[in-house]
Amino acid sequence: MKYYIIAGERSGDLHGSNLIKALKKNDPNAILRGFGGDYMQNAGMELVVHYSRLAFMGFVTVIANIFKISELLKACKSDILAYKPDVIILIDYAGFNMRIAKFAKAKGLRVFYYISPKVWAWNTGRAWKLKANVDRMFCILPFEKDFYKGFDWDVDYVGSPVLDAVKAFHLDPDFLGNNSLLTENKIVALLPGSRKIELQRMLPVMAEVVNMNPEYQFVVAAVKALPDELYAPLRSIPSVKFIYDATYDLLSYADAAIVTSGTATLETSLFKVPQAVIYRASSIEYFLGIRFVKVKFISLVNLIANRLVIKEFLQHTMTPVNINAELKKILEDESYRKQMLSGYEEVYKILDTGSASENAGRLIVQYLTQEDRVPERA
């Protein structure tokens, strides 16, 4: 069968690559094409557009790049029609993919969604649009199945692809030596995100925290697809080290982390690294957020645990002084560290339901080849 897959960011690229491997296992004749990144391309998908061209985040940024986004949408639609896939598989990336879902449904194409957009967080009415335009939804957070039940929609919960990726990871034994890191000094991982706007907002604050702590080794999990000048606030500090495409190696050795809210918070927890979560939106985005966001937390760790496991420093509370105080606490207060790590164990147990990509890949092929049969549940 022919599959057209669309992922618009780094995490989607990683999870998309694992899904591709599962699809090929269940469908040896699978032909794959779409939007994504290096991981998906290396897994066997013909890459049309790299996700680095799609990295628009936030209301203001989207408006500023509306013409670029429009052109990419147009190109994607044309490519889909020319390719004539048996199914379109959308991976998160709501703003772009929900438009593609509506287009594809109108054209009579089958649409599957792997990793639901976070419609449960704000503007929950979008769930009706998803139900109208998506044939099958494969969710990766346990509470999403109950959320969609409220819209009379039975979706599949397949488990966490983040946990899959962590379980499959193989540590580079030479990582410390290759990056001149010392085991006797505490290592603090800096995970600023994978989007331009995230780096612009988070790095200046991270740099101030670094300057407050000359005794720690700070290491940045950087992204090759982004222009190096975006890292200037930290590049100007000689002691800060940068690593590329080795975030999991870094987390394997880190004593603590400062993490921009997103998938990385969950990845950090699964590597059992105490962390402080940070996030800052534009004034307009923040105003809209406090009016319409429906959840108590923004980090996946806290959302899954349904309680405060890790501190979240948002908007006006995202100050160097606040973050530094939390960093000191998670590094030096053993009781506080143990409490956070206990919360991590709770999250791990909730998510540990088998391989999400294997479950999703099997179900997708079953749904496509046996439409009239109810497939076995994961």
Domain membership flag for residue 378: no
Q: Which residue has the tokens 């990683």?
A: 14
Q: Which residues contact 368 (CB under 8 A, 6 or more apart)?
A: 1, 86, 87, 110
Q: Are residues 102 and 215 in the same domain?
A: no
**pLDDT for position 370:** 81
Is 344 found in the same domain as 196? yes
Q: Does residue 377 belong to any structural domain of this protein?
A: no
Please write down the long-range contacts of 264-268, taking CB distance under 8 Å and 24 or more positions apart.
264/191, 264/193, 264/221, 265/299, 265/300, 265/301, 265/310, 266/160, 266/162, 266/299, 266/300, 266/301, 266/304, 266/347, 267/162, 267/165, 267/166, 268/189, 268/191
Q: Residue 91: what pLDDT?
A: 96
- Are 149 and 253 in a shared domain? no
Cβ atoms 315, 284 nearer than 8 A: no
* 30 and 58 inside one domain: yes
Domain count for the chain, please give it: 2
Task: Report pLDDT for 374.
Answer: 47
- State which residues form the domain around 142: 2-159+353-369
| 10: in domain | yes
CA dist 221 and 223 (Å) reads: 7
Tell me, yes or no, whether 120 and 182 share the same domain.
no
75 lies in the same domain as 179: no
Same structural domain for residues 210 and 143?
no
- The CATH number for 106's domain is 3.40.50.2000
Do 139 and 183 share a domain, yes or no? no
Contact 264, 191 (CB under 8 A): yes
Please tell me the predicted confidence (pLDDT) of residue 284: 60
**38 found inside a domain:** yes
Residue 376 lies in a domain: no
DSSP at 316 = G
Domain membership of residue 375 (yes or no) is no
Among candidate residues 311, 310, 313, 314, the one with its CA nearest the CA of residue 344? 310
Establish if 242 belongs to a structural domain.
yes
Contact between 113 and 282 (Cβ < 8 Å)? no
Cα 126 from chain centroid (whole Å): 20
- Residue 112: inside a domain, yes or no? yes
Task: Report the distance separating Cα 296 and Cα 308, nearest Å.
Answer: 9
Length of the chain equals 378
Same domain, 83 and 206: no
Same domain, 155 and 234: no
Averaged pLDDT, groups of 10, the chain, 378 residues long? 94 92 97 96 96 62 63 95 97 93 97 93 88 97 92 95 90 94 93 90 96 97 90 95 95 97 94 96 56 72 95 94 98 97 96 92 94 49
pLDDT at 269: 98
pLDDT score of 187? 97
pLDDT of residue 281: 73
Q: Are residues 262 and 173 part of one domain?
A: yes
Q: Which pLDDT score is estimated for 372?
A: 43
Are residues 357 and 320 both part of a single domain?
no
* pLDDT attached to residue 80: 98
